[in-house]
Structure 1
């Protein structure tokens, strides 16, 4: 079977699960095509550029991002998207991509599956299932809701509850495992001491600042930790943006003895997570879920629009915190560092998280649903033939 995996180039949150699923399908003996939804499948380079750079800009202003995306994620804009997707060059260019690749099913790791890809597939009369993976794990925006979707996959119960509340038919939703990257599948986690020794880190309370694929952040957290004279070790991972690099460089020059490590973008992020006591950063789904998989609490420092339900998840399961005030963030971590009993309780709570992590199992779900789609389609065609014979 050939599976098409589409993503949108707006951060790493969509391409990472697409690649993880691609690796899983290929391990199961199937072939895949991983394509940029806007640039390759729909031939919309201007929209692709706008999507990518608007997202990067908004990361500098998280409160503005939350306000703007809340206002634009409306039923009106959903209808506009559906209209534009079927009354533009989109169907023509999408059909060209489809004919060149001939996939057996389409999996979209982005909410544009519901009201952009699915309407085009229907308009073209293509007999192929369209599946949407809710990459934000706790939330699907209104623009990603559609009863015409063949399947909406989401990996948290909270996400399923919210999708149903927004109008997604329950029978179209499947709880799926989180698609772990190939490097983490079957991983035997290191202990903190083992990971710190391997990475050349000190044996002290360690905070991993995950700045995401865009590497956008400030030095405010570092300044607050230094101000309180806390003997912590801070590791900032991610390919630092120019502005962030300048801020960190200046901080290092002013405070040369502060324990700050900036390894940049790393391909062994699991070792850094194992080395830390707490991971912190914006609520990027991949960083957060990988932290939960490796049993490290996560402090969400910026709640972007699609991550707002993360607060409810943390309230339910107590495996992290959400706080946008830097002073309160340091308060939380300082209290956590000093409370050894809470650290033990935290580890116990991880054992009862209602989450699974398995890209192979997720790929098998998709294959099963694809086979069911074609089985149902064959049944309809057979019924239609029988009715035609009866009419004769």
Structure 2
């Protein structure tokens, strides 16, 4: 089969699963095309606005958590569906389809429901349209559409919330999380082996993940220094210009503090294995990669689409959500000193009902596509 994977250029949260699935499909002997959705629709201005608006809001997570919910509404869903079939996007999508001729489309963004499915239906194209819920615990209202051929989401909680929002249960599949190839094909290291490989001290270690945009502050580091905690901290991600300046000042002020800043890394699995806890904003890829390697995650900035992470952690006990810097350090200080708490959390990982396997998700999609093509989309 030939599978098209659409992503949105707003952080790495949608591109990463698209690439992971593309690699998986190709390992299974199929062909793929990975495409920026707004480029396919010849909408460079919308792409620019989407990308830069996201980067701006990441600097102000508390504002993001208030702004984005206002745009995630039934009214806007209807508006986008109308524009999908009453704008130049329809012609551009038809042209793109004629050039690429995929057998099915997978969109790693909620616009599968509000843009792609309405256009495919209007044009009577013989292909299933699938949505992968990249936020893993939540599908925005804009991503709900009973006409979708399938909504894939990694968590039972995500399924519950999608049904509550109006997505028919029979269109939802709980799916494996699509690990990127570097993690899928690597053998996890022990904590001590990972630290030795990365030339790190063997002490309590925090991995600060600043995400694909590299946006953050040094407030957490200042609190750790203030309490004179004997930890080491690793910060991964290509730092934005403002964040890089803050880190430069921090290292000049505290040259003895064990801070490692490798920047963007391709072996993130080694750094996760080396840490005791990973922390950062609730980016789904960072969160799920951490859980796949049985490392708890402390969510420091709860963005809108990740709000159910609080419920997920309350149920599964594999992490925390806290936006207060002093309370974050309180949590980790308690965890670092409490062997029983650490053992309890490792037991919670053993009971975690999640599967991490991009090949398994690719097989699920292929099976569903073949079934739908045979039953509903005869050419």
C-alpha distance in 2 between matches for 1:199 and 1:9? 31
For 1:115-134, list aligned pairs within 5 A.
Answer: 115-134=114-133
For 1:40-55, list aligned pairs within 5 A.
Answer: 41-55=40-54
Unpaired segments ≥5 residues, structure 2: none
Q: Tell me which residue corresponds to 2:196.
A: 197
Change (3 A) 1:134 1:378: closer
C-alpha distance in 2 between matches for 1:33 and 1:322? 37
SS at structure 2 position matched to 1:245: helix
C-alpha distance in 2 between matches for 1:84 and 1:186? 42
Q: Tell me which residue corresponds to 1:331.
A: 330
Q: Following TM superposition, by how much is the alpha carbon of 1:186 offset from its aligned partner in structure 2, in angstroms?
A: 4.4
Q: Tell me which residue corresponds to 1:386.
A: none
Deviations 1:98-144 (A, max 9, x none): 11101000000000000111111111111110000000000000000
Q: Tell me which residue corresponds to 2:289.
A: 290
Unpaired segments ≥5 residues, structure 1: 382-392
Q: Tell me which residue corresponds to 1:12.
A: 12
SS at structure 1 position matched to 2:233: strand
TM-score by length of 2: 0.99
Query: Retained in 1: the 8 A contact 2:129–2:148?
Result: yes
Indicate whether 1:141 and 2:140 are aligned.
yes
Q: Tell me which residue corresponds to 1:390.
A: none
C-alpha distance in 2 between matches for 1:188 and 1:16? 20
Indicate whether 1:32 and 2:32 are aligned.
yes
C-alpha distance in 1 between matches for 2:293 and 2:47? 34
SS at structure 2 position matched to 1:174: strand
Query: Retained in 1: the 8 A contact 2:207–2:275?
Result: yes
SS at structure 2 position matched to 1:240: coil
Q: Following TM superposition, by how much is the alpha carbon of 1:184 offset from its aligned partner in structure 2, in angstroms?
A: 1.2
Q: Following TM superposition, by how much is the alpha carbon of 1:92 offset from its aligned partner in structure 2, in angstroms?
A: 0.2
Change (3 A) 1:378 1:88: closer
Q: Following TM superposition, by how much is the alpha carbon of 1:377 offset from its aligned partner in structure 2, in angstroms?
A: 2.3
Q: Tell me which residue corresponds to 1:92.
A: 91
Q: Following TM superposition, by how much is the alpha carbon of 1:188 offset from its aligned partner in structure 2, in angstroms?
A: 2.2
Q: Following TM superposition, by how much is the alpha carbon of 1:378 offset from its aligned partner in structure 2, in angstroms?
A: 6.2
Query: Retained in 1: the 8 A contact 2:126–2:377?
Result: no
SS at structure 1 position matched to 2:243: helix
Q: Which has the larger radius of gyration?
A: 1
Deviations 1:121-168 (A, max 9, x none): 111111110000000000000000000000000010000000000000
Over aligned residue pairs, what C-alpha RMSD do you find? 0.9
C-alpha distance in 1 between matches for 2:373 and 2:207? 46
Q: Tell me which residue corresponds to 1:263.
A: 262
TM-score by length of 1: 0.96
C-alpha distance in 2 between matches for 1:370 and 1:317? 32
For 1:207-226, list aligned pairs within 5 A.
Answer: 207-226=206-225
For 1:1-392, list aligned pairs within 5 A.
Answer: 1-39=1-39, 41-377=40-376
Aligned residue pairs: how many?
A: 379
Q: Tell me which residue corresponds to 1:385.
A: none
